C-alpha cells in the first residue's frame, strides 16, 4: 500500500470580517462579493480588499475571505509582522484570546481592532472518512514531511475533522517558502510524537 499523502495549500495573508466591520470599511448595506471558491466548502475569496496599518508600516490589498464571521480575524505571516511592527501569537483559527490588534482601512472607513491578529497555526482539514484512512482523530497532532531540494518536516500540525471539510493542509507563505513549495504539492503524514523538545540551556 502506498503512503497516504496530503495536498498542501499555501495561505497568503487575509482577513475575515464581521458584518459590522464590512459596513464600516465598505459602506452601509455592503455585502461581500464572492470572487473564487476556496478548498473548503462554503468558503470563498472576495473582491474586497483592505489595508493593514501597524506601528511601523502598512500592507495594502489584503484579501477579504467570506462568509462573514462573529469576530474579525486577520491572518498574517512572520514576515508581515516585521513589516507592520507587531508581534502576533501563533494560534488556531478562532482562538483570539490575548491576540493583538491593528488598524484596518477600507474605501469607506477605518476600524481599530483591539484584538484578532494572529499567525495561523498549521493544520490539516479532514473529513471523518479521511481521518479513518489516516488513522487519526480530531485535534490530534501529527508531522508532515515534504520532499524536494528543500525537503522539510513540519512539526506540530493539528488535525481538524468535520463532515464539512475536504482534505487539505494549510500553511502560510513563510512556511511554504522555507520548503520551496508550489501549488499542487503534497506531504506525507507521519503519526506519532509531534513535538520536538528543545535542548536545555547550558
- What the block records as the C-alpha cell of 87 is 508581534
What band does 193 get if pLDDT is binned at 50, 70 and 90? low
Instruction: Report the C-alpha gap between 177 and 164 in whole angstroms.
Output: 29
Domains along the chain? 12-120 (no CATH), 122-190 (2.40.40.20)
Lowest-confidence range among 27-31, 87-91, 146-150?
146-150
Predicted confidence at residue 194, as pLDDT, reads: 54
User: How many Å apart are CA 202 and CA 174, to the nearest integer?
Assistant: 31
Q: What does pTM read for this prediction? A: 0.89
Mean pLDDT on 33-52:
96
Tens-digit pLDDT profile for residues 49-106: 999 999 999 999 999 999 999 999 999 999 999 999 999 999 999 999 999 999 999 9
Q: How far apart are CA 185 and CA 103, in angstroms?
A: 35
Task: Name which residue leads in pLDDT, 110 or 195.
Answer: 110
pLDDT for res 202 = 45
Q: What percent of the chain has pLDDT over 70?
A: 93
C-alpha cell at 21: 466591520
Cell numbers at 179, concatenated: 520548503
End-to-end CA distance of the chain: give it in Å, rounded: 45
Which pLDDT value is given to residue 191? 83
Give the pLDDT band (50/70/90) at residue 148. confident
Amino acid at each position: 500500500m502506498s503512503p497516504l499523502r496530503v495536498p498542501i495549500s499555501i495561505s497568503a495573508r487575509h482577513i475575515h470580517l464581521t458584518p459590522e466591520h464590512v459596513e464600516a470599511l465598505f459602506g452601509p448595506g455592503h455585502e461581500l462579493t464572492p470572487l473564487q471558491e476556496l478548498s473548503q466548502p462554503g468558503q470563498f475569496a472576495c473582491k474586497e480588499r483592505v489595508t493593514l496599518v501597524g506601528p511601523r508600516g502598512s500592507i495594502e490589498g489584503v484579501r477579504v475571505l467570506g462568509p462573514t464571521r462573529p469576530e474579525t480575524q486577520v491572518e498574517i505571516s512572520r514576515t508581515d509582522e516585521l513589516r507592520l511592527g507587531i508581534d502576533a501569537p501563533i494560534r488556531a483559527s478562532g482562538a483570539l484570546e490575548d491576540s493583538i490588534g491593528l488598524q484596518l482601512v477600507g474605501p469607506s472607513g477605518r476600524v481599530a481592532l483591539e484584538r484578532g491578529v494572529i499567525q495561523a497555526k498549521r493544520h490539516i482539514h479532514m473529513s471523518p472518512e479521511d481521518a479513518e484512512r489516516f488513522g487519526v482523530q480530531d485535534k490530534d497532532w501529527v508531522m508532515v514531511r515534504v520532499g524536494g531540494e528543500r525537503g522539510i518536516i513540519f512539526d506540530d500540525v493539528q488535525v481538524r475533522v468535520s463532515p464539512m471539510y475536504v482534505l487539505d493542509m494549510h500553511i502560510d507563505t513563510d512556511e511554504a517558502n522555507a520548503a520551496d513549495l508550489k501549488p499542487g504539492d503534497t506531504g506525507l503524514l507521519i503519526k506519532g510524537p509531534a513535538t520536538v523538545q528543545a535542548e536545555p540551556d547550558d
